[in-house]
A = this chain, B = another copy of it.
Amino acid sequence: MGGDEAPGKIIDGVVEAVHAFKSQGLSHTLIVTGVKTQIQDHLRRCHSESLLGDSIEIVHTDEVIGMHESPTSALTKKPRSSMHVGMELVKKGEADGFVSMGNTGAVMAVALVGLGRIEGVARPTIGAFFPTLTGKTLVLDVGTNVDCKPLHLLQFGLMGSIYMHAIMNIEDPRVGLLSIGEEASKGDDLTVKSHDLFKQKALFDFIGNVEGRDILKGAADIVVCDGFVGNVVLKFGESIYHFLKSRIKETAHKSTKNALIMGIAKPALRNVFRELDYQEYGGVPLLGVNGVVIIGHGSSSPKALSRAIMVAKEMAEKRINEVIRQRIQSSKE
């Protein structure tokens, strides 16, 4: 029920995932939690009601958490929301993972209460993917954790590294610490202390400090930072797409020649700019909670949702949370 055009767009994504599984010869069941009649109606409308049963199951609930509802109100006032119900299925082992395009803060809150943290993890984290000249970089944290301590950043780096290795197939993911200079002594108190801890613990391939300019360059596979700065950079980055679109529109309005040129260049430019439109990406994992949870952007396309479902399946199959638990444990020895 979460996301900007729920449940229709969500169900389109679920249907797309079912077909993707089938084309790979797989027969997973996708459980959809939400208002049963709305879900059935939409499946009927897109001629997919035949998928009900083996491929798609509905678990009914009519409590829905709004996109702008506060996490606290979501937690306390709607104990039977589609989010709670989904998380419960994971807890009881009836589902292998939970995917939501809903309110990020609420997903985090419900997951923390419903699933709890992986043993030894001080703070679960949510990251975001940034486009780079060579691929994608996972930046974490991007907003759920502020006023972090060095230990938190260390664990973000470790969990990010495990995720990028297992899911993105990067042999030895490079972890950078976001700072304001390359030298170990540059930065604020948190980064200087974290730099030392990262070196001392050597839990992953720590390539040292990276700067704001290194993110889009792809200097690191994982960029670790406090959620405050991560969130500011993420939202700044998201705004570039709209800034450029407005500017190009203004340029086109200046003359017929400009309008013509921009009209011709539009499809090519769209591909370039789309990368900066983070909404096009699939979901990101909630790392550190005791269960597979993927959160996607509220305006995710059905394709992005389908991709997020695939990632959840992979995270479950590869038992990533078990790997995190073990690596966190051994980091304390």
Q: Are B235 and A232 in contact (CB under 8 A)?
A: no
CB < 8 Å neighbour of A188 from B211, B228, B237 = B228
A231 at the interface (CB under 8 A from B): yes
Q: Are A239 and B215 in contact (CB under 8 A)?
A: yes
Q: Are B246 and A133 in contact (CB under 8 A)?
A: yes
* Bound form: Cα–Cα A232–B212 in Å: 4
* Bound form: Cα–Cα A147–B228 in Å: 13
Q: Are A236 and B251 in contact (CB under 8 A)?
A: no
Contact with B along A284-304 (1 / 0, CB 8 A): 000000000000000000000
Q: Are A235 and B211 in contact (CB under 8 A)?
A: yes
Within 8 A of B (CB), among A257-288: 258, 261-262, 264-265, 268-269, 271-272, 275-276
Q: Are B264 and A178 in contact (CB under 8 A)?
A: no
A188-B228, A229-B228, A264-B261 known; A235+B251 contact, CB < 8 A: no
A216-B240, A243-B216 known; A146+B187 contact, CB < 8 A: yes
> Would you mind naming 19 contact pairs between A and B with Cβ atoms under 8 Å apart?
A133-B243, A146-B187, A147-B189, A180-B228, A180-B232, A187-B228, A188-B226, A212-B238, A212-B239, A213-B238, A213-B239, A217-B243, A229-B229, A229-B232, A236-B236, A247-B272, A248-B269, A261-B264, A265-B269
